[in-house]
Amino acid sequence: MALAEAGAPLVILAGGGDLPARVAAAALRSGRPVLILAIEGEAGPSVETFPHHWVKWGELGRLESLTRQHGARDIVLVGKIVNRPSLKTVRLDALAIRSLPKLLGLFSGGDHSVLSVVIRFIEGRGFRVVGPHEIAGDLVAEPGILTDIRPGEKDLVDLDIGFRAAIAIGKLDAGQAAVALNEHIIALEGLEGTDAMIERVRLLREDGKVFERGRAGVVVKCAKPQQDLRIDMPTIGPLTVDRAAAANLAGIGIEAGRVIIVDRDTTLRKAKEAGLFIVARAADDPRDP
């Protein structure tokens, strides 16, 4: 999907975390006028640095009106959503009520269903959904070793195995990450998420069920092959590094161009302090970082 020409207005529908502000700053640097529509109860105070309006779940008419007033066709959906909307709690405006048959998937489907409904609804109103990484390219990493610390030969073997496992469970829509140690998969991500999976590895090592002295093993995270990266790109961040260090892992592997590094400077600094490497590579070419 081709992006709009340089300087075209952009609307950011913002959830929590620092990503909405990072995308807004990148858009402004590129000359694009930005308007943030910050979701009440989700977005943080950092959005107030930029032109913004606070909006509530269910205010679809207001969202559309503000977007058209800004002259924008492109919309970025970015940030954490902690409190999933419910028909019992959301007050629907006139547009939302008229659109209710199309929106029922938001309340009844799984995550993939929810995201598909969101995209179809927005694009059905004449707008275009744009990925945050298409606005702020530094959110994702190019292939390479991102840290001064480099993986050793054993680490490279574990990375290969970890990438294959992460892609395999992604194809099953089961998870995005895996932990490999000594040429074995010792953990696969489920509904608990990546950080909780790594914590499970820490407990396994602490209990002596996985024995290895010193730093060893890697956590690998990839996008699912079928994942729509415009609104559902996987992430790592400082907490991922903290958990990996606590689990005594040697490093982290991510799929280049398809995993967001949240708070990149802090993430890389923490990795350096903990003695961990971070490698970005294409999932289909695992031996070439």
pLDDT beneath 70: ranges in the chain: 1-6, 84-90, 92-93, 96-97, 99-116, 285-289
What is the reported pLDDT for 69? 95
Q: What is the pLDDT of residues 167-207, one digit of tens each?
A: 999 999 899 999 999 999 999 999 889 999 999 999 999 88
Task: Say whether both 14 and 73 belong to one domain.
Answer: yes
CATH number, position 192: 3.40.140.80
Positive or negative: CA dihedral 135, 137, 140, 143: positive
Task: Say whether both 205 and 115 belong to one domain.
Answer: no
What's the rounded Cα separation, in Å, for the pair 224 and 185?
Answer: 18
Whole domain around residue 69: which residue ranges? 10-135
Task: Say whether both 88 and 170 belong to one domain.
Answer: no
**Single-letter residue type at 54:** W
Residue 173 lies in a domain: yes
Count of structural domains, the chain: 2
Three-state secondary structure readout of the chain:
CCCCCCCCCEEEEECECCHHHHHHHHHHHCCCCEEEEEECCCCCHHHHHCCEEEECCCCHHHHHHHHHHCCCCEEEEECECCCCCCCCCCCCCHHHHHCHHHHHHHHHCCHHHHHHHHHHHHHHCCCEECCHHHHCHHHECCCEECCCCCCCHHHHHHHHHHHHHHHHHHHCCCCCEEEEECCEEEEECCCCCHHHHHHHHHHHHHCCCCCCCCCCCEEEECCCCCCCCCCCCCEECHHHHHHHHHCCCCEEEEECCCCEECCHHHHHHHHHHHCCEEEEECCCCCCCC
Among 85, 114, 135, give the residue marking a domain's end.
Answer: 135
Q: What is the pLDDT of residues 220-231, one digit of tens each?
A: 999 998 888 888
Residue 234 lies in a domain: yes
CATH number, position 44: 3.40.50.20
Residue 289 lies in a domain: no
What is the reported pLDDT for 148? 96
Task: Say whether both 59 and 157 belong to one domain.
Answer: no
Name the burial class of residue 273, with classes exposed (0-12), middle (13-18) and buried (19+) by CB atoms within 10 angstroms of its CB. Answer: exposed
pTM across the whole model: 0.82
Among 76, 100, 135, give the residue marking a domain's end.
Answer: 135
What is the reported pLDDT for 56? 87
What is the reported pLDDT for 179? 98
What is the reported pLDDT for 163? 96
Q: Are 162 and 197 within 8 A, CB to CB?
A: no
